[in-house]
Structure 1
Amino acid sequence: MNVTIKDIELLKNLQPQQISHYLEAKGWKKLQQIDTRAIIWTSSDLKPETTQIVLPLNSTLPDFPVSMNLMLETLETIENRSQMEIVADLITGLPNTTIQGIVIQVHTPNADKLSGEITLLGVIGDQLRKIQTELADKDYIVAIKAYQERLPVFCTGDLIKENQVFILKNTCYFSIDEQWQN
């Protein structure tokens, strides 16, 4: 079963520059740029016909999410991968995202206050991924408890990807999944 991505906020947050890097890495070539509105990409490696993708460049236009959805459908067919797998490669930032996961590592706490970095294992784009975040005070204590007792957690924040590493910034609402609490 293939999942079709229809989440408008997710589609709005795909970055054309990141997609351009992705397409270049996959062997696509720029065929034509239409002002600052779009780039047409082509792949002649695919036989028997040449395939094209239109990459919109202005995320503020109302049809941007629709164009991104069409691009994902084309890539899904060509790469024989799910849209979720492709999006996981394309994500550079998702604001106000809720993550459910397991704390897999608690790094050495900061010496000057009750805070530190943790690593979560959570689902992003249909795959388990490591996510780093910085917590303080009560949230840090909850993370330590969740780590020690292997309890799933929820948290919300701005998910970004830097150098292939997922980071959750502005983390809030960090809590143990209520279904697992005693």
Structure 2
Amino acid sequence: MKVTVQDTEILKNIEPQQLREYLQTHNWHEDRPFLAHATIWHKQVELGEFEILLPNTKNLGDYLSRVRELIQTVADAENLSTWEVLNEFVKNYPNLKIQGFVTQIATPNADRLSGEVTVVCPVFEKLRPIKIELLDHDYILAIKSYQERLPVRCTGDLFKEDNVFILKNIREFQLENI
């Protein structure tokens, strides 16, 4: 079964330069321009030759469908899941809702009731640790979650920095009703 990426919020945040850099570093070869808005890339593997149409800009009407197609083709050629490929491109994801468990609480900040916590939750079809800086009441809820093994949920903007997921602009941090 093939899983396809349908979430337009994820796809529209992927820059053409990120796609180009990935292809260059994974032995894809730029073949030729396609009209004025894209380039054609090839990769030869045991299964045969694969071809990708890489848009040069996000301003095209079919940009999202081309990125979906590119991710699926890379996954097929490199024997990966679409989620494994997508993970290479995700640098930010605005307004993401997460639900998971607090697995770590860093030493609190000395000057106010705040600190960094780690929440493990599914992101892009895989359990991942996400770092979150919390303040005041939210920080107290995170401690309670950690001590009592209660799930939490919140909304925020996900960023990936040096292969670490960080959730910023936290909203609606709360304990999950069980």
Give TM-score, length-normalised by structure 1: 0.88
Task: Quote the residue 2:97 is aligned against.
Answer: 98
Which segments of structure 1 move beyond 6 Å, counting only runs of 4 or more?
none
Q: SS where residue 42 of structure 2 aligns?
A: strand
Q: SS where residue 112 of structure 2 aligns?
A: coil
Does structure 2 retain, via aligned residues, the 8 Å contact 1:85–1:126? Answer: no
Task: Quote the residue 2:25 is aligned against.
Answer: 25
Q: State yes or no: 1:8 paired with 2:5.
A: no
Q: Give the distance between the partners of 1:36 and 1:121, measured in 2 at CA.
A: 44
| Aligned partner letter, 1:84 | W
| Aligned partner letter, 1:111 | A
C-alpha distance after superposition, 1:89-128 (max 9, x if no partner): 2211111111111111111111111111111111111111
Give TM-score, length-normalised by structure 2: 0.90
Task: Quote the residue 2:139 is aligned against.
Answer: 140
5+ long unaligned stretches in structure 2: none
Q: SS where residue 55 of structure 1 aligns?
A: strand
Shift of 1:131: 0.8
Does structure 2 retain, via aligned residues, the 8 Å contact 1:118–1:133? Answer: yes
Does structure 1 retain, via aligned residues, the 8 Å contact 2:121–2:129? Answer: yes
Q: State yes or no: 1:88 paired with 2:87.
A: yes
Q: Give the distance between the partners of 1:27 and 1:136, measured in 2 at CA.
A: 45
Shift of 1:24: 2.6
Tell me how large the CA RMSD over aligned residues is.
1.9
Task: Quote the residue 1:64 is aligned against.
Answer: 63
Q: State yes or no: 1:76 paired with 2:75.
A: yes
5+ long unaligned stretches in structure 1: none
Shift of 1:33: 4.8
Pairwise mapping of residues 35-74 of structure 1 onto structure 2 (< 5 A)?
A: 37-44=37-44, 46-47=45-46, 49-74=48-73
C-alpha distance after superposition, 1:15-63 (max 9, x if no partner): 222222322332222333568733322213x246432212223223321
Percent identity between the two aligned chains: 43
